[in-house]
Structures are given as structure tokens and as C-alpha cells.
């Protein structure tokens, strides 16, 4: 029977590597402020759309029984795989909005709520992509010259692609969902918390900037980024990194 590698279900990149990659393209204070305002609006406005896909119920928790709550919990689980504290704070912030959106969906017609939510959602995306990246963010040095910071999207970095190192599906999801975690980290570091992590993020970002300027991918496949890939699960047998089986024969 073909084994299933445990490492395929775990992130290879650490939180400072994920946030170092993301903040390489989100360095300016103006862009960080734009994202700090607009990213929560993107998430919350989407909830007001998702809340109409719900389980009909009348008990007190009925306002939470919708797709928005499910996706919020899923987001928290994905981000918790690299940053448990940050993901927990993000979830605590979002869950009350899930309840508010669910309550509004229970009493208001979607013909009123949905157009407003869509308009707010699109305006928030405009604020992050056009205003934040194209107008407020500095140009990025690459091996072929300078590019605007939307190169983060053009090169597929936001999907965890073309990083120079093989990553897992969880890493792809984390980088795709990393913006809210970056907002949480910015908020915490601005009031004096998690300064050590912030310093490690800046160090990681500096290294990525130097590699991009040299025309290289963000990470070095021969560095210590990748953890061993031979963690294999088989029925009654777990193969550990040293190759020694562990478990029942």
C-alpha cells in the first residue's frame, strides 16, 4: 500500500517565512494601513453574502449556522498551523461579525443586503490592490529591473508557487490566506507585543529582497527551509525521518 506522508499535511514554511514573503510586497506604511483597513472589510463584507447560505433554525446559535462561520473556522484552523495565537485572535475578532451577519440575514431581504455587501467588498479590494499596491507601495527590485508590488500576484507567490522550494498544500493555503494574519501581527507589534517575531520577519524579508534583486526565487531550496519529506504513514507502521519504522508490524 502506498504511504501517505505526514509532512504533506503540515506546513514547511514557518510563520516568519510566510509573513516575510508577504511583507516583502507590503512594506510601505501607506500600503500596510490600506490593508489594515481594507482586509477586515473584505472578510466582513463577504460574511454578509455567505450568511444567506445557512441552516434554518430558531435556537439562540442560529445566527452562526451559515457558510461564513464555517469558512471563518476553516481560516483559523489553516493559519493556526503556523501561528496559533495570531489565528486565535483573528477568529475571536471575526466570530462576532459572523453572528451579526447571520442575524441580519435572518431578518433582512438579500435584495437589500447583497448589493451593499458586494459594493463594499469590491471597494475594499480596490483599496488593497489598486490604491495599496499601485499607488502606496514601493517598487520591487527584481532580476529584470523594478516592478510594482503586484508582482506578488503575477508570479503566483500569493498561491505559494515559484518560491524556489517545494512546499505542501497547506503552505499554499496559508500564503493565500496570510493577509489577515499579517494585519493581526501589525496590530500586535504596533502596541509592543511579539516584537521578537517582528524582528525575525524583517530579517526574513531582507533576505528575500536580496534574492529577488539577484533574479532568484524567494527561498533557497538548499537552505534549511524544507523539513524532511520522508515522514510516511502506513497502516500499523510509521516511518520516521531516520528511516526507522515505529509501530506495530
The pLDDT profile of the chain, 249 residues, written as one tens digit per residue, is 455 566 667 899 999 999 999 999 999 999 999 999 999 999 999 999 999 998 887 777 889 999 999 999 999 999 999 999 999 999 999 999 999 999 999 999 999 999 999 999 999 999 999 999 989 998 899 888 899 899 999 999 999 999 999 899 999 999 999 999 999 999 999 999 999 999 999 999 999 999 999 999 999 876 655 444 443 333 333 333 344 444 333
Through-space distance between the first and last CA atoms of the chain, rounded to whole angstroms: 14
DSSP, res 54 = B
Global confidence as pTM: 0.85
- Of 120, 123, 117, 220, which Cα lies nearest the Cα of 163? 220
Please tell me the distance from the alpha carbon of residue 107 to that of residue 120, in angstroms, as a whole number: 20
Cβ neighbours of residue 27 under 8 Å, at least 6 residues apart?
A: 137, 138, 205
Please tell me the distance from the alpha carbon of residue 148 to that of residue 134, in angstroms, as a whole number: 6
Amino acid at each position: 500500500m502506498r504511504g501517505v506522508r505526514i509532512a504533506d499535511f503540515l506546513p514547511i514554511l514557518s510563520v516568519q517565512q510566510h509573513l516575510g514573503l508577504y511583507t516583502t510586497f507590503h512594506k510601505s506604511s501607506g500600503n500596510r494601513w490600506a490593508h489594515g483597513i481594507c482586509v477586515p472589510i473584505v472578510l466582513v463584507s463577504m460574511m454578509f453574502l455567505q450568511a444567506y447560505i445557512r441552516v434554518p433554525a430558531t435556537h439562540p446559535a442560529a445566527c452562526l449556522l451559515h457558510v461564513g462561520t464555517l469558512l471563518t473556522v476553516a481560516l483559523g484552523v489553516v493559519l493556526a498551523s503556523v501561528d496559533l495565537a495570531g489565528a486565535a485572535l483573528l477568529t475571536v475578532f471575526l466570530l462576532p461579525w459572523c453572528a451579526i451577519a447571520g442575524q441580519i440575514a435572518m431578518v433582512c431581504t438579500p435584495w437589500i443586503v447583497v448589493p451593499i455587501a458586494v459594493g463594499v467588498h469590491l471597494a475594499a479590494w480596490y483599496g488593497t490592490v489598486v490604491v495599496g499596491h499601485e499607488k502606496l507601495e514601493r517598487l520591487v527590485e527584481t532580476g529584470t529591473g523594478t516592478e510594482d508590488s503586484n508582482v506578488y500576484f503575477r508570479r503566483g507567490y500569493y498561491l505559494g508557487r515559484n518560491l524556489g522550494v517545494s512546499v505542501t498544500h497547506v503552505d499554499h493555503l496559508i500564503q493565500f490566506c496570510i493577509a489577515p494574519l499579517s494585519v493581526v501581527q501589525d496590530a500586535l507589534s504596533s502596541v509592543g507585543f511579539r516584537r521578537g517575531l517582528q524582528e525575525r520577519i524583517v530579517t526574513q524579508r531582507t533576505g528575500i529582497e536580496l534574492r529577488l534583486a539577484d533574479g532568484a526565487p524567494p527561498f533557497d531550496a538548499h537552505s534549511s527551509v524544507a523539513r524532511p519529506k520522508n515522514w510516511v504513514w502506513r497502516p500499523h507502521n510509521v516511518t520516521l525521518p531516520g528511516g526507522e519504522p515505529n509501530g506495530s508490524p
